[in-house]
Amino acid sequence: MFQIISLSDLSKELRYLIASFILVLSIGFFSSIIFVNQSNSIQPNGLVEHYNGNESDFEVEVMKFKKSEREILTIIHSHILSMSVIFFIVGLLLCFTPTNIFLKYFLVIEPFVSILLTFGGIYFLWLEILWFKYVVIASGILMTMSFLLSVILIIKDLKLIKV
Protein backbone atom coordinates (compact mmCIF):
# COMPACT_ATOMS: atom_id res chain seq x y z
CA MET A 1 0.00 0.00 0.00
CA PHE A 2 1.16 3.56 -0.73
CA GLN A 3 2.41 5.36 2.38
CA ILE A 4 2.71 9.16 2.60
CA ILE A 5 6.01 10.23 4.09
CA SER A 6 6.85 13.39 5.98
CA LEU A 7 9.41 15.91 4.78
CA SER A 8 11.48 14.99 7.83
CA ASP A 9 11.72 11.40 6.48
CA LEU A 10 13.52 12.54 3.32
CA SER A 11 17.28 12.30 2.91
CA LYS A 12 19.34 15.16 4.26
CA GLU A 13 20.22 16.26 0.70
CA LEU A 14 16.54 16.55 -0.27
CA ARG A 15 15.72 18.41 2.94
CA TYR A 16 18.53 20.91 2.26
CA LEU A 17 17.33 21.29 -1.34
CA ILE A 18 13.79 22.04 -0.16
CA ALA A 19 15.05 24.41 2.55
CA SER A 20 17.23 26.27 0.02
CA PHE A 21 14.32 26.53 -2.41
CA ILE A 22 11.96 27.80 0.30
CA LEU A 23 14.54 30.34 1.50
CA VAL A 24 15.19 31.78 -1.96
CA LEU A 25 11.47 31.71 -2.80
CA SER A 26 10.70 33.58 0.43
CA ILE A 27 13.32 36.24 -0.35
CA GLY A 28 11.70 36.74 -3.75
CA PHE A 29 8.19 36.76 -2.32
CA PHE A 30 8.94 39.24 0.45
CA SER A 31 11.02 41.48 -1.82
CA SER A 32 7.82 41.88 -3.87
CA ILE A 33 6.06 43.04 -0.70
CA ILE A 34 8.81 45.66 -0.27
CA PHE A 35 8.17 46.77 -3.87
CA VAL A 36 4.43 47.06 -3.20
CA ASN A 37 5.24 49.19 -0.16
CA GLN A 38 7.62 51.39 -2.22
CA SER A 39 4.86 52.06 -4.76
CA ASN A 40 2.46 53.07 -1.93
CA SER A 41 0.13 50.25 -3.04
CA ILE A 42 -0.34 49.09 0.56
CA GLN A 43 -2.58 52.11 1.21
CA PRO A 44 -6.03 52.05 -0.48
CA ASN A 45 -5.56 55.38 -2.28
CA GLY A 46 -1.98 54.52 -3.23
CA LEU A 47 -3.25 51.30 -4.80
CA VAL A 48 -5.80 53.19 -6.90
CA GLU A 49 -3.14 55.74 -7.88
CA HIS A 50 -0.68 53.01 -8.89
CA TYR A 51 -3.03 51.50 -11.47
CA ASN A 52 -5.31 54.42 -12.36
CA GLY A 53 -2.80 57.26 -12.21
CA ASN A 54 -2.84 60.63 -10.52
CA GLU A 55 -2.50 62.96 -13.50
CA SER A 56 -5.51 65.03 -12.39
CA ASP A 57 -3.67 66.05 -9.18
CA PHE A 58 -1.21 68.79 -10.12
CA GLU A 59 0.42 68.92 -6.69
CA VAL A 60 1.73 65.36 -6.53
CA GLU A 61 5.41 64.68 -6.07
CA VAL A 62 5.48 61.85 -8.64
CA MET A 63 3.10 61.91 -11.61
CA LYS A 64 1.59 58.51 -12.48
CA PHE A 65 -0.56 57.65 -15.47
CA LYS A 66 -3.36 55.10 -15.79
CA LYS A 67 -2.05 51.76 -16.98
CA SER A 68 -3.09 50.81 -20.50
CA GLU A 69 -5.26 47.76 -21.03
CA ARG A 70 -2.24 45.90 -22.39
CA GLU A 71 -0.17 46.79 -19.29
CA ILE A 72 -2.89 45.77 -16.82
CA LEU A 73 -3.54 42.47 -18.62
CA THR A 74 0.21 41.71 -18.71
CA ILE A 75 0.52 42.40 -14.96
CA ILE A 76 -2.51 40.25 -14.12
CA HIS A 77 -1.56 37.42 -16.50
CA SER A 78 2.05 37.12 -15.32
CA HIS A 79 1.17 37.36 -11.62
CA ILE A 80 -1.65 34.81 -11.77
CA LEU A 81 0.50 32.30 -13.64
CA SER A 82 3.66 32.70 -11.55
CA MET A 83 1.91 32.84 -8.19
CA SER A 84 -0.17 29.78 -9.05
CA VAL A 85 3.03 27.81 -9.62
CA ILE A 86 4.58 29.19 -6.41
CA PHE A 87 1.56 28.24 -4.30
CA PHE A 88 1.21 24.86 -6.00
CA ILE A 89 4.78 23.93 -5.02
CA VAL A 90 4.44 25.35 -1.50
CA GLY A 91 1.09 23.59 -1.08
CA LEU A 92 2.51 20.32 -2.36
CA LEU A 93 5.37 20.52 0.16
CA LEU A 94 2.91 21.46 2.91
CA CYS A 95 0.91 18.30 2.16
CA PHE A 96 3.91 16.29 3.37
CA THR A 97 4.00 17.94 6.79
CA PRO A 98 2.23 16.65 9.93
CA THR A 99 0.01 19.75 10.03
CA ASN A 100 -3.59 19.69 11.24
CA ILE A 101 -5.69 18.56 8.25
CA PHE A 102 -8.10 21.53 8.42
CA LEU A 103 -5.24 24.03 8.59
CA LYS A 104 -3.58 22.18 5.74
CA TYR A 105 -6.75 22.41 3.60
CA PHE A 106 -7.00 26.11 4.33
CA LEU A 107 -3.34 26.80 3.53
CA VAL A 108 -3.36 24.87 0.25
CA ILE A 109 -6.65 26.32 -1.07
CA GLU A 110 -6.76 29.88 0.30
CA PRO A 111 -3.81 31.27 -1.71
CA PHE A 112 -5.54 30.38 -4.98
CA VAL A 113 -8.69 32.20 -3.88
CA SER A 114 -6.56 35.17 -2.84
CA ILE A 115 -4.70 35.16 -6.17
CA LEU A 116 -8.01 35.46 -8.02
CA LEU A 117 -9.38 38.10 -5.62
CA THR A 118 -6.17 40.14 -5.60
CA PHE A 119 -5.49 40.24 -9.31
CA GLY A 120 -9.12 40.08 -10.40
CA GLY A 121 -9.69 42.91 -7.94
CA ILE A 122 -6.88 44.91 -9.54
CA TYR A 123 -8.63 44.54 -12.89
CA PHE A 124 -11.96 45.73 -11.43
CA LEU A 125 -10.12 48.57 -9.70
CA TRP A 126 -8.62 49.53 -13.06
CA LEU A 127 -12.18 49.55 -14.45
CA GLU A 128 -12.91 52.24 -11.82
CA ILE A 129 -14.83 49.99 -9.42
CA LEU A 130 -12.94 51.61 -6.58
CA TRP A 131 -14.28 49.65 -3.61
CA PHE A 132 -12.27 46.69 -4.89
CA LYS A 133 -9.20 48.36 -3.39
CA TYR A 134 -10.27 46.91 -0.04
CA VAL A 135 -10.71 43.42 -1.50
CA VAL A 136 -7.25 43.64 -3.09
CA ILE A 137 -5.60 44.71 0.15
CA ALA A 138 -7.43 42.16 2.33
CA SER A 139 -6.76 39.26 -0.04
CA GLY A 140 -3.14 40.32 -0.47
CA ILE A 141 -2.62 40.33 3.29
CA LEU A 142 -4.32 36.94 3.65
CA MET A 143 -2.20 35.51 0.81
CA THR A 144 0.98 36.79 2.46
CA MET A 145 0.02 35.38 5.86
CA SER A 146 -0.81 32.01 4.26
CA PHE A 147 2.57 31.98 2.52
CA LEU A 148 4.41 32.85 5.73
CA LEU A 149 2.63 30.21 7.82
CA SER A 150 3.12 27.55 5.14
CA VAL A 151 6.83 28.32 4.93
CA ILE A 152 7.20 28.15 8.71
CA LEU A 153 5.45 24.76 8.82
CA ILE A 154 7.58 23.40 5.97
CA ILE A 155 10.87 24.61 7.49
CA LYS A 156 9.85 23.26 10.90
CA ASP A 157 9.11 19.81 9.46
CA LEU A 158 12.46 19.66 7.63
CA LYS A 159 14.11 19.38 11.07
CA LEU A 160 17.43 20.79 9.92
CA ILE A 161 17.92 22.88 13.06
CA LYS A 162 17.87 21.25 16.48
CA VAL A 163 15.93 23.37 18.92
What local confidence, expressed as pLDDT, does residue 2 receive? 56
Confirm whether 91 is domain-assigned: yes
pTM over 0.75: yes
Name the DSSP class of 40. T
Confirm whether 57 is domain-assigned: no
- Domain count of the chain? 1
What local confidence, expressed as pLDDT, does residue 163 receive? 61
What does the alpha-carbon distance between residue 82 and residue 25 come to, in Å, rounded to a whole number? 12
Confirm whether 98 is domain-assigned: yes
- Digit-by-digit pLDDT tens for the chain (163 residues) are 556 689 999 999 999 999 999 999 999 999 998 888 777 667 888 888 888 888 777 777 777 888 899 999 999 999 999 999 999 999 999 999 999 999 999 999 999 999 999 999 999 999 999 999 999 999 999 999 999 999 999 999 999 877 6
Question: Is the C-alpha dihedral spanning 149, 113, 136, 28 positive or negative?
Answer: positive
Confirm whether 145 is domain-assigned: yes
Helix (H, G, I), strand (E, B) or coil at 10: coil
What local confidence, expressed as pLDDT, does residue 75 receive? 94
What local confidence, expressed as pLDDT, does residue 53 receive? 84
Confirm whether 37 is domain-assigned: yes
- Residue 142 near residue 112 (C-beta atoms within 8 A): no
Confirm whether 3 is domain-assigned: no
Query: Which range marks the domain in which residue 105 is found?
Result: 10-52+65-158
What local confidence, expressed as pLDDT, does residue 62 receive? 77
Confirm whether 150 is domain-assigned: yes
